[in-house]
Structure 1
């Protein structure tokens, strides 16, 4: 939750190119990959501090889910600070902070349904952005209820392809599948989107290429830092900068995320008549709320455990090793 020297060359080779899928078999030879595994092609960024040896060792790992990779370009944020924040969230047990469930306001006008969504999460903005866009099908949207025992997520990525990379801006084509189950009915909906992200501002807009049963399917999100310990540690409610927050909290202040989203959809013409349109809108709104709750539950569970993303784990391991080396050096002196 990273880049590495030379990634620009890799990404330039892949821009506007069709997805090519290959997988290393046990005997070291490449073989074709099923549709379910196409997402492993990227987009990916490596930890900029990773050595060639560590990178080579990571490339030998069987699955991309276990590699120290990121879908967000860390040239535009402080990776070390992000790692430090993750450690704070994992270690703070006396003052748990879970954030409130999402507030979803629904308004329908002339066939268009507008969802205005506000929620908070106990994780830094870059980490939340990573959860929104990471194509590894990690358990961010894993229902704690309906799908608990079959290891399936509500939202899976099937394929991704970078169309344009310009500084912090990245335009990616994404194919997903959404699973839903309501009142005894269930099904899947293929979703094909273009996502336009800004990794520095931590914002994005998206628009459909094709979404089943939808004439309009688009929206945006903005993720802002939330200084959850400001009142407790800084004794202040006034707006302050991240640097001021770090100083007044003695470096112990956790940074969460305030997420503002807008989602707009309209059922296709033949389905945009009552009572069918009511049913489709009901499913869309309910599934959206369920996805947001899945994400909230994931973050709460994550903060209660010591389990971290492979890239974050690698950085934490590195920082601990440096601390030990410093201590040893001081003892020798």
Structure 2
């Protein structure tokens, strides 16, 4: 399905892949190996696609959009490498993580290198507004991750706090992709705001859908163990709804109070799967996708706009 969605920018996404491969062309063999391993593991490339699709409405200049599209994927990869090291995750996208294979110290240093590389790439846009936006996004991601870390195993989190957390953790990077694509294609102010709104709302929906999969997915399709968020003490929307439904006798409450970890994870998964909670979460995600697409009404009707609408549909239909 993604290949159809990416059709208007397919040739240029191939150029992004070429740029990503070139990131690994360094003199130090071990660094080259780590870069190739982290950047070549078959992600969906949604973020670079968003940069390119958002640039298709006005002055599509690949000399600026290509380094931007590459930079957001390198930044995304840096955050994943750091996340896996922080969480001591052993599997990512069905493959052993950097920290599993080479150790936490190498993972942290690789993440730092990727972060610096993403900043070097975004400098090639020669656009101070975009460079500043890129730095602000890194700060927002870091703030979101710190928010998650300090709220781990805290049962007193509200839906609003959850949405605020995932805004920094996920939505801001998709927002960066769409907003920068608009800016670099010299879109008028209202169109920049429209694409920014699309990216933000799509990012919220994307994270909610990911959080749903942590309850109903399989290890094979997720590339990591089911229930990983609960195991890390991260309260996501399905868990919040479960706590609202069963405020006292609740496996999430017992898990967060350090009682029989695996048993309570399994009980929480079972309760969520056998209730209407999943449908409620998908309804929230669908609402954010609808908000995202409403922003597109302000833009010219072309193949890229239709692809962005299809991408929103894809986000909430990955597994329903």
Task: Please say whether Structure 1 and Structure 2 have the same fold, judged by a TM-score greater than 0.5.
Answer: no
Instruction: Mark the structure with the bigger radius of gyration.
Output: 1
TM-score by length of 1: 0.29
